[in-house]
């Protein structure tokens, strides 16, 4: 469902004072939710079917999988050749069950081929330590396919600290 909030209401009430209004999910928002569902299910075939050939991923450059990746074929080759440099190669081993893979996506906005989704990034270290962080994703679609994804992490330092503690990121020099 697409959550829509009005701004300030009569009597000074704000978004936080009332439950969200919901409306039917747009086609673009549904594609993004399908992408997230495929990530959760680790369904690579479904995922790649939802990607435009010119897909771009943009992550914070400080993350082990950070920077920009462009092109469906490049992404496919990277997953096969150097999976440790990908999001899945980093987080896959730390998400052994559905509980960690569940992203609880919430569509914040969808308009004009762009969709904003808030979701959770969860992990479980071999030691039993749990990680749970919010992420905001900005997605663009073209011809009904995902062409661009840019993730905005609320606390990359916490992500890097966790990854270092669990051995998924080399210590800083």
CA quadruple 57, 123, 39, 80: dihedral, nearest 10? 70
Q: What is the pLDDT of residues 15-33, one digit of tens each?
A: 444 334 344 468 999 999 9
Residues in the chain: 173
User: Residue 168: what pLDDT?
Assistant: 77
Q: What is the pLDDT of residues 91-124, one digit of tens each?
A: 999 999 999 999 999 999 999 999 999 999 999 9
What's the burial of 73, exposed, middle or buried (CB within 10 Å: 0-12/13-18/19+)? exposed
User: Residue 56: what pLDDT?
Assistant: 97
Domain boundaries, the chain: 23-165
Q: What CATH architecture is 23-165?
A: Roll (3.10)
Q: Among candidates 72, 70, 57, 56, which has minimal Cα distance to 151?
A: 57
Of these ranges, 1-5, 37-41, 76-80, 84-88, the one predicted with the greatest mean pLDDT is 37-41
Q: What is the pLDDT of residues 46-88, one digit of tens each?
A: 999 999 999 999 999 999 999 999 999 999 999 889 888 899 9
User: Residue 17: what pLDDT?
Assistant: 41
Please, are residues 113 and 98 in contact by the beta-carbon 8 Å criterion? no
User: Residue 6: what pLDDT?
Assistant: 33
């Amino acid at each position: 469902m697409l959550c829509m909030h009005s701004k300030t209401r009569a009597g000074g009430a704000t978004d936080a004072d009332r439950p969200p209004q919901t409306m039917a999910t747009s086609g673009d928002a549904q594609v993004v939710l399908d992408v997230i569902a495929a990530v959760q299910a680790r369904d690579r075939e479904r995922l790649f079917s939802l990607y435009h050939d010119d897909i771009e991923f943009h992550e914070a450059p400080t993350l082990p999988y950070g920077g920009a990746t462009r092109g469906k074929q490049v992404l496919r080759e990277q997953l096969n050749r150097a999976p440790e440099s990908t999001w899945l190669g980093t987080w896959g081993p730390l998400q052994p069950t559905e509980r960690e893979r569940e992203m609880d996506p919430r569509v914040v906005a969808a308009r004009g081929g762009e969709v904003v989704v808030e979701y959770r990034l969860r992990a479980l270290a071999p030691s039993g330590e749990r990680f749970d962080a919010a992420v905001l994703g900005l997605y663009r679609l073209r011809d009904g396919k995902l062409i661009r994804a840019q993730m905005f992490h609320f606390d990359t330092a916490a992500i890097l600290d966790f990854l270092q503690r669990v051995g998924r990121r080399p210590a800083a020099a």
